[in-house]
Amino acid sequence: MNKKHILITGGAGFIGSHVVRRFVKSYPEYNIINLDKLTYAGNLANLRDIENAANYRFVKGDICDASFLQELFSTYHFDGVIHLAAESHVDRSISNPMEFIMTNVVGTVNLLNAARESWSRLLSGGDFENKRFYHISTDEVYGSLGETGFFTEDTKYDPHSPYSASKASSDHMVRAYHDTYGLPVVISNCSNNYGSFHFPEKLIPLAINNICNNKPVPVYGKGENIRDWLFVEDHAVAIDVIYHYGKNGETYNIGGHNEWKNIDLIQLLCKILDRKLGRPEGTSAQLITYVKDRAGHDLRYAIDSSKLQRELGWKPSLQFEEGLEKTVDWYLANKKWMDEVTSGEYQNYYQNQYDLR
């Protein structure tokens, strides 16, 4: 029996590495091809435990390169695409929006074109049955909530940052390829993830690292912004479920039903780390430092994921306190990973290894 070939983009990043690991381990009947440019956020050390698996292959490449993508599709004849590659950090999008337009918008359209061309050619007449293009997106496309309410799949798009505007654009293009060409697409919009292999420019790993190293923990504005946190492995399960059972043309919201004010979350992390590092309670909290607010900082995100629960039976498995303890334990046990990432050493190693090919 011919194995199915699944392309996962951005598989060397935070969420992508968890998705690649899950698919490689759960589906020996698939060949998983991980396409990643290895930007500052891509790190093959995130996948060391599965890098030699028989059903896994890494390809270094850029989704902004349309002819490279066409070649890749003619080599592998992909049955499905799970698209996570993106520029993902809001603060970076504020200082360099063009990078976000290129990867998140142009890169996504290149991928849509490559899938459409390859699948139309293979299945004469463009009968896309049994193919799937799954686009991973964010709750930030919906904008900002006030004190109450939730984002549903019907909430009007209202992005505020260059990052969220670029993701909103890519969502619209994915839907346009469904409506115009009949491409079998599915989209999910997820809330804030946390867990292992999270790049330490994002709030939780940055705070853990700074607390461990007795460095100031920057809190933007008054720390009153609210995010809905989901354990990354629960997101990977949701992606698995939606890839296999989601309906073409549909959108699914994914969230943790787990809202935290930034300052309360940081206080909780300080408490956990005081205990784990044997510090008197209250020591780490002294590192909290209020800094200038993020421009256009969305006040509150909260996801209603009842459609996913009702239609496909997914719900988060972990309580937040348990997930956070697990996450802190992982960072304490993987200091080498954090040191290599923060020093940039990981990039020299892997970039050179693949650039020499």
Active site includes 281? no
- Residue 299: closest CA among 228, 216, 194, 215: 228
**Would you call 140 a catalytic residue per the annotation?**
yes
The sign of the torsion formed by the CA atoms of 105, 106, 112, 116 equals positive
C-beta of 186: minimal distance to ligand NAD in Å? 14
Check: CB of residue 191 under 8 Å from CB of residue 216: no
Which residues in the 20-59 window bind ligand DAU by CB under 6 A?
Answer: none
At closest approach, how far in Å is the CB of 55 from ligand DAU? Answer: 28
Q: Within 17-76, which residues bind ligand NAD (CB under 6 A)?
A: 36-39, 41-42, 62-64
**Position of minimal CB gap to ligand DAU:** 138
The Cα 193–Cα 199 span in angstroms is 11
Please choose which of ligand NAD, ligand DAU, none residue 38 contacts, taking the beta carbon within 5 to 8 angstroms, the exact cut-off set by kind.
ligand NAD
- Write the binding mask 64 to 93 for ligand DAU: x where contact by CB under 6 A, - elsewhere: ------------------------xxx---
Q: Which stretch binds ligand NAD (CB under 6 A): 123-131, 187-195, 209-217, 294-302?
A: 187-195
Catalytic residue among 36, 62, 140, 234: 140
Residue with tokens 């080498």: 336
Give the pair of three-digit tokens for residue 186: 């599915």
**Is 51 annotated in the active site?**
no
Q: Looking at residue 334, what DSSP letter applies?
A: T
Dump the DSSP string for 135-178.
Answer: EEEEGGGG--B-SS--B-TTSPP---SHHHHHHHHHHHHHHHHH
What letter would DSSP give residue 13?
A: S
Contacts of 289 by beta carbon, 8 Å cutoff, 6+ apart: 216, 217, 218, 219
Kindly state whether residue 192 participates in binding ligand NAD, applying the rule CB under 6 A: yes
Residues numbered 179 to 218 that lie near ligand DAU (CB under 6 A) are 191-192, 202-203, 206, 218
Q: Is 139 in the site for ligand DAU (CB under 6 A)?
A: yes
Cα-atom radius of gyration of the chain, to the nearest Å?
A: 20
**Per-residue string for binding with ligand DAU, 241-270, x by CB under 6 A?**
---------------------x--------
User: Looking at 56, 163, 194, 331, which residue is catalytic?
Assistant: 163
Q: Which is nearer to ligand DAU, 159 or 246 (CB)?
A: 159
Q: Which residues are known catalytic residues? A: 139-140, 163
